[in-house]
Structure 1
């Protein structure tokens, strides 16, 4: 298959995409239609464009152009498109870098649970790909499905089964004590001819071959697996296979085996090919910004849901009484009132501010209260600011700080850090800029921040933290630098 790398947010016409792929314009139009149906491409007009939809080299005129609003893999017939994140800029990512991207996408999708949901419903082509990956993932984690049988032998080398020995053999008395010349021994053996085991081997082998045929096994780091030379049809038709799988489900009580059996049932009842000829199959997301938010939460040690009494600070009397609450729950809420017959009465609280990431750190300057907002932007401050967080985002950061004002003062924090976190393919975290909002938000005395800083953070470091569920090694240093 033909593999082509394209950048997220890049614009294409049928003509330009056809030239890039080396296909005729008829096929390019067919491809665009298939991808647009899947939400990979979106037709744009000048009326709905804004600067966040543009890459650094884009022109303003986008009429009649299609934009990739997706990160991941898109497969159509013999074409495999690898749509890589916009922060790579002019550099094309390596296979290793894209493997990491696909890992974080899979994790954000929920991995096996997502496929389990799909397994209960009718299989679509995207579900088929997710199902294939889930089966391979379970094989990598648990190995082959196997049933074991217990056998007994007389005078064998296995463990003695005294219950069967007492039931089946006559003892001899020696010095008043019973002596058994023959005894029963137990063995646990694997049933190599078990039908479900055979089916699992066939399906895993087919799934591996499908990944290889699609040309995406390298991107997903999937090894070639050959466990069987049989085909699924050799084991019976769909009705027969479903019947045997359901019978096995009725007697199987191991959770992972139950999950696998449901996946196998969905596989044998689904379409016979992973990639239908008239449809695009996609593995990816149009909400990569959300994955960046999740990654930054892990990398910078988000503590929004941590009870106050678990934080590395000393609580005074007021906050000690609220020690079981979290940093999220102590944010004040708007209070709405209703007027009826000229009387005002309380209507109840409404939803309130929710920061991306809040963390408490100890630095050279003392205790630091960090408010961080993950922005999946590719900003530029050369000349006029472009693709930077807008007025609403800047305003929210100031409101977050105001929401924690009492907590910060009562707990004696030395600094408040207010930061935007944007991705970069560079290897170092860098202070890119700072935004102030004079006359609207006046400069406040210490420990509060006046401006909101913008730091570029290596995306690969963030992804490693997200996948490993750990904090970034230099996160504390970054916050300390921001506090100076």
Structure 2
């Protein structure tokens, strides 16, 4: 398979994609169409302005079909992760990685972050969603088989056998009815005991089927050069072929019967995934197969990472917070910091709406024996912020004003509990190896209300991801707020 790196948010012309995919314009058009259908590519006008942009605005997206030889449009990648399509493996890396066109090490770390981010969902993404229909996500299924195997082993069914004087549970009915006893002092004694032992059936149909599929999955991922990037060790458990287990309808029928007698959750999930794999039999090499592992919303991943490593207190009980002074009685009815934010009141109804302002994360920092209330907002931007240069690709005015309002929403709580001071900060990723101070952003009319201007800090993404994976915290003092 052809394996290539693509950068998120980069603009690609049809000619450039022909070179990347190593095919003619006639063959690249259906690939682009399929990637557009699944939301991986967005089309924009081919202008100099678009070529220089590092963000995609909704109003710039064009709805147009892909034609052979088209040079009117550029195609913007909106995905981070791995895609297989038409015999090609596309390794899509985040937009902030500007200085390495083949960031294998960085993408390997990002894949682990995505795996941890998705782990809580406890589902197998068997299907991709598209604007037209559902499509079988073979890559996700192959990855599930192998990760599940390394966590739980092969599918097993057990068999109970009877042993003569074994070490297992004694079968008294069988012992009394089928063996001799002798009496001593009117008490019965049994010299030969019938015992029960539970063994794994190594020739079980489903164990063999599972190991055949695992071997096939491992081989496909190795040929696609994906074992290393997903940190999976190749397995070779079976010499059997899928055809050795019967035709497709027979295999599916056997799985349905097995599902009816299995109530173990892991076995049910595994059997259902095997069923889907058999029912949609195919290969990563198939020209009409598109599979993916990753996300169209890497900004959500960045928000989660920042919240974890900076010890987000937004949803922590107020009683658990280490405040400068004890929690005042009037705040006890509010269980969390998020509950303190006022909700809009629609006067004619006398009721407040459900929605309100929601900060990304809040933390309490102790510095020089003083407590600081810090409001962070994780922003997934490649902001151009240099002395004397017009700012570009930065958070918009709505983000700036909301950040001021977050402080305003907590101003009474901050004052009542005698925090030394408050800080506001945007956090953006960088491919560098140190925190970069990018000054601040301010609105004078809000500064006049005694609100803090918003600091801007670039955090090394690799460092943030390493802490997230290790479940460690970032010391906010290193941000120099």
The normalised TM-score by structure 2 is 0.88
2:166 paired residue number: 156
Instruction: Give 1:217-256 correspondences, 5 Å limit.
Output: 217-256=227-266
Contact 1:275 1:281 survives alignment (8 Å): no
Deviation at 1:405, TM superposition (A): 0.8
1:384-408 deviations in whole A, cap 9, x for unaligned? 2222222111111100000011111
Cα deviation per residue 1:418-474 (whole Å; 9 max; x = unaligned)?
111101122222322211111243162xxxx52111111121232234334x243x3
Q: 1:116 to 1:74 in 2, by over 3 A?
A: closer
Does the 8 Å CA contact 2:10/2:54 hold for their aligned counterparts?
Answer: no
Given the alignment of the two structures, is residue 70 of structure 1 paired with residue 79 of structure 2, yes or no?
A: yes
Q: Does 1:369 align with 2:379?
A: no
Matched residue of 1:328: which SS? Answer: helix
**Alignment partners' CA distance in 1, 2:369 and 2:165:** 75
Residues 114/378 of structure 1: CA separation in 2 closer, same or farther (3 Å cut): same
Determine the C-alpha separation between the residues in 2 that align with 1:22 and 1:260: 37
Deviation of residue 93 (structure 1)?
A: 4.8
Residue among 357, 379, 389 paired with 1:353? 357
Q: 1:180 to 1:166 in 2, by over 3 A?
A: same
1:32-85 deviations in Å (ceiling 9; x for gaps): 22322222211102799695527xxxxxxx952111122122223232221211
Partner of 1:342: none
> How far apart, CA to CA, are the structure 1 residues paired with 2:78 and 2:462?
21
Aligned to 2:27: 27
Residue 124 of structure 1: how far off its partner (Å): 5.0
Question: How far did residue 270 of structure 1 move?
Answer: 1.4
**Do the aligned residues in 2 keep the contact of 1:15 with 1:28 (CA within 8 Å)?**
no
State the partner residue of 1:417.
423
**Structure 2 matches for 1:265-344, cutoff 5 A?**
265-313=275-323, 314-322=325-333, 325-338=335-348
Which residue is equivalent to 1:257?
A: 267
User: d(CA) in 1 for partners of 2:24 and 2:391?
Assistant: 40
In structure 2, distance between residues paired with 1:105 and 1:7: 17
What is the alpha-carbon distance in structure 2 between the residues aligned to residue 477 and residue 175 of structure 1? 83
Name the counterpart of 2:93: 84
Residue 384 of structure 2 corresponds to 380
- Match of 1:436? 442
Tell me, what secondary structure is at the counterpart of 1:396? helix
| Superposition CA RMSD, Å | 2.7
Deviation at 1:363, TM superposition (A): 2.2
Compared CA separation, residues 112 and 261, structure 1 to 2 (3 A): farther
SS at 1:273 equivalent: coil
- 2:59 alignment counterpart: none
Q: Which runs of 5+ in 2 are unaligned?
A: 57-70
Cα 1:78/1:321, change in 2 over 3 Å: closer
Q: 1:90 to 1:476 in 2, by over 3 A?
A: closer
Aligned partner of residue 385 in structure 1, secondary structure: coil
Change in Cα spacing, 1:247 to 1:433, as seen in structure 2 (3 Å) is: same
Q: Secondary structure at the match of 1:402?
A: helix
Distance in 2 of aligned mates of 1:187 and 1:196: 21
- The farther-off stretch of 109-118 and 295-304 is 109-118
**Which stretch of structure 1 is more off in the superposition, 222-231 or 32-41?**
32-41
CA contact (8 A) 1:308 1:322 kept: no
Q: For 1:46 and 1:407, how far apart are their aligned partners in 2? A: 51
For the structure 1 residues 387 and 346, does the alpha-carbon distance in structure 2 shift closer, same or farther, using more than 3 Å as the test?
same
What's the CA shift for 1:335? 0.6
SS at match of 2:445: coil
**Separation in 2 of the partners of 1:141 and 1:359?**
35
1:290-312 CA distance string (max 9 Å, x none)? 11111111111112111111222
Flag structure 1 segments of 5+ consecutive residues without an equivalent.
55-61, 339-344
CA offset digits 1:168-199 (Å, max 9, x no partner): 43431224433211112222211011111111
Distance in 1 between the 2:225 and 2:54 partners? 32
1:464 correspondence with 2:474: no
What is the CA deviation profile of residues 133-192 of structure 1, one whole-angstrom value per residue up to 9, with x for unaligned ones? 112221111000111112111223545444543454343122443321111222221101
Partner SS state of residue 292, structure 1:
helix
Summarize the Cα distance change of 1:319–1:300 in structure 2 as closer, same or farther, 3 Å threshold.
farther
Deviation at 1:21, TM superposition (A): 4.5
Q: State how 1:122-271 maps to structure 2 within 5 Å.
A: 124-125=134-135, 127-162=137-172, 164-271=174-281
8 A Cα contact 2:3 2:225, kept in partner: yes
Task: Give SS of 1:377's match.
Answer: coil
TM-score by length of 1: 0.87
3-state SS of paired residue (1:74): strand
2:453 is matched with which residue: 451, 455, 458? 451
C-alpha deviations, 1:333-391, integer Å up to 9, x for none? 111122xxxxxx51433411001111223222511211110001111212222222221
Provide the residue aligned with 1:10 in structure 2: 10
Q: Counterpart in 2 of 1:407?
A: 413
